[in-house]
Amino acid sequence: MEFVEVTKGQFTRLLHPYPTFLVTCAGRSGEANVITIAWLIPVSVRPPLLTMAVRRERYSYGLIVESGEFVVHVVPFDRAREVLFCGRRSGRDVDKIAALEMESVPGRVVKAPVLPKVGVAFLECRLQQEVEAGDHVLFIAEVVAAYARPGFIKDGVRDLEEVLPLLHVGGNRFTTTVTEIVEPSV
């Protein structure tokens, strides 16, 4: 079998599609922002921890370090436009929450804002640790509150027919899943 060589700088392209999230944060004096994040995974159940990779250059980086808090929003496929906007524009130049006319309310536990009309599930997080990782920083954070719209979870798993997931294909492209599900026995 012949394989096609991929430059090491493009290795991340081989891992797509990534579930993609909107993450809100606010600085100490209340300035709120929202950033698109695809590099985010759970890393522990007890205690509940997740990690996300954020470039130091992002406006959100400083806000999260300053406040130690952020809120991960699971967003549906039909929010691709907002997700691309928040992933291409910086809060340094534009108030993204206002520009997209997104309603925002305070978090249940954290002070970072929650976008109840845009998100379908929410993970309020408190920063635990910052780990240097090349050109990104890994934020390891504890999930201090988690909630979802009714119907998001059915029989203990996500109901993909209720809310289609948003997956980043690469560049400006997004996709979603087909509703065919397999559950192999092993």
Interface residues with ligand FMN (CB under 6 A) are 20, 33, 35-39, 53-55, 58-60, 84, 87-92, 168
Least distance in Å: CB of 59 to ligand FMN? Answer: 3
DSSP state of 61: H
Least distance in Å: CB of 119 to ligand FMN? Answer: 16
Least distance in Å: CB of 122 to ligand FMN? Answer: 18
Instruction: Report the residue closest to ligand FMN, judged by CB.
Output: 87
Nearest Cα neighbor of 17 from 83, 95, 112 is: 83
Cβ proximity to ligand FMN, 22 vs 155, nearer residue: 22
Give rounded-to-5 percent helix, strand, coil for the chain. Answer: 20, 40, 40
Cβ proximity to ligand FMN, 114 vs 166, nearer residue: 166
Cβ proximity to ligand FMN, 35 vs 121, nearer residue: 35
Q: By the 8 A CB rule, do 118 and 79 touch?
A: yes
Cβ proximity to ligand FMN, 122 vs 174, nearer residue: 174
Q: By the 8 A CB rule, do 93 and 45 touch?
A: no
Nearest Cα neighbor of 119 from 93, 138, 145, 90 is: 145
Cβ proximity to ligand FMN, 19 vs 48, nearer residue: 19
Contacts for 99 with CB less than 8 Å, ≥ 6 apart: 85, 89
Backbone angles phi, psi at 3, to 5 degrees: -110, 155
Contacts for 63 with CB less than 8 Å, ≥ 6 apart: 25, 26, 27, 31, 33, 91
Cβ proximity to ligand FMN, 53 vs 148, nearer residue: 53
Least distance in Å: CB of 43 to ligand FMN? Answer: 15
Least distance in Å: CB of 151 to ligand FMN? Answer: 26
Least distance in Å: CB of 117 to ligand FMN? Answer: 20
49 is written with which tokens? 């921890």
Angstrom distance (rounded) from CA 112 to CA 141? 14
